[in-house]
Amino acid sequence: MPDDDLERRVRKLTVEHAETRWLALRLDDDVKDVRDELRAVQNVQTEHTARFDSIDSQLRSLTQLVGQVLARFPDDPPSRPARPE
């Protein structure tokens, strides 16, 4: 009887070991997938950051240009003639 119990326990441990290995392999595959997706997201984010930096630079240049144009105008605007009614 003790041999049967021992064999049953060994079979159970063998099955549990196989299940654990299968789950570990699945987990490894899932981790690889998540890392690949994370790399893809980081690449897109880098591209977007570069685009935003470019847009920010263009807006700064435009703001400076508008400031230079406004500086050319006289401080006191000419008075408007009254409208005939």
pLDDT at 25: 96
Average pLDDT over residues 57-77: 88
pLDDT at 63: 94
Q: How confident is the model at residue 75 (pLDDT cuts 50, 70, 90)?
A: confident
All structural domains of the chain with their residue ranges: 1-65
Q: What is the pLDDT of residues 11-64, one digit of tens each?
A: 999 999 999 999 999 999 999 999 999 999 999 988 888 888 899 999 999 999
pLDDT at 52: 86
Backbone torsions φ then ψ of 31, nearest 5 degrees:
-65, -40
**What string of H, E and C letters represents the secondary structure of the chain?**
CHHHHHHHHHHHHHHHHHHHHHHHHHHHHHHHHHHHHHHHHHHHHHHHHHHHHHHHHHHHHHHHHHHHHHHHCCCCCCCCCCCCC
